[in-house]
Amino acid sequence: MTDFISNLLYDFLIAFGVTFGASIFAGLGAIINDHPPLKTMLNVASSIKIWAVAVALGGTFTSFQVIEKGLLKGEFRSVIKQIIYILIALTGANLAYSLIKMIQRSSKLWLE
């Protein structure tokens, strides 16, 4: 059970870190290229979420293989675990996207 919980934590934080980190570095690149950094950060965060989930799960094919094996061999416990891993990774990526959106919204307050 502790392996399951630690894997959930890893999946969440990896998906969060990929989304947030990519957005931050894209913002730095936008500053260097004289583009609007917050808009660039939001665009990158939006488009990279699905890739962050794939990275957190260790590649998409392993997840599909576990789900396929679980459905064909009747191992529904592994299918449920894999679905939970996917949902947790999605939550991490979406939370990072929401944080970037919050930073963009709060920038309007800082400018006033």
Contact 39, 26 (CB under 8 A): no
pTM, two decimal places: 0.85
pLDDT of the residue at 60:
59
pLDDT of the residue at 112:
60
Per-chain mean pLDDT for the chain = 88
Q: Residue 78 — pLDDT band, cuts 50, 70, 90?
A: confident
